[in-house]
Amino acid sequence: MASEITYAEVKFKNESPAPVVKGLPKKKKPEQHPQKYPLWLPWLISLLLLLVCIALVVVLLERGWTCCPKGWRRFQGSCYFLSLDRMNCAESAQNCTGMGSQLVVINSKAEQEFLSKQKTQSVRRDNVYIGLFEEKVGQWQWADKTPYNVTAAFWRKEEPSPGHENCTVMHVPEGNLYNWNNVKPDTMHHRICEAAAVIV
């Protein structure tokens, strides 16, 4: 007896199995903590810090830092050099110009007060040239051509005296604000040079 072979026709359907849908993990609810400050407070602090920074930048840009060369003294927007040596009037003016400055031009009572107090231990300065000259008899002129104002002048009593004294000195030992004296241009005195302070 011969063995029989039985064939069976098997058909597979090309179907993917039904997807298994898993549920999304449940989110944990954040723990509720009582709020210690209002929500707008960090914004307010940030805004205030920003305004402070802007104000500082504006102030620094407008004013800047004022610097003077070594050995010069600063007052307001100017630098002042008090000489250690003596020269005549023309040499004093020329020396200041050579340093990129000029003999001092006094514009205010505050500046006069500042300069009247300038003394050093090493050099005794009795008289110092300032930048006021008599161009013609009775016509005084500042070195930078600033108009001369007699009501803002600080002459000693009985000064300026008439004659050939067409340069001006500040008599430092005077002890008060009114210490200007006119002198002959060939007399040897110390000088005060003035230059604008450098703003950085």
Q: What is the pLDDT of residue 11?
A: 60
Q: What is the pLDDT of residues 63-122, one digit of tens each?
A: 667 789 999 999 999 999 999 999 999 999 999 999 999 999 999 999 999 998 886 555
Residue spans of the chain under pLDDT 50:
none
Which tokens hold the place of 78? 């100017």
What pLDDT is recorded for position 2?
58
pLDDT for res 140: 95
Closest residue by Cα to residue 140 from 160, 156, 158, 157:
160
pLDDT at 25: 59
pTM of the model: 0.66
CA angle 119–162–166, rounded 5-degree value:
55
Domains of the chain: 80-193 (3.10.100.10)
Averaged confidence pLDDT in the chain: 83
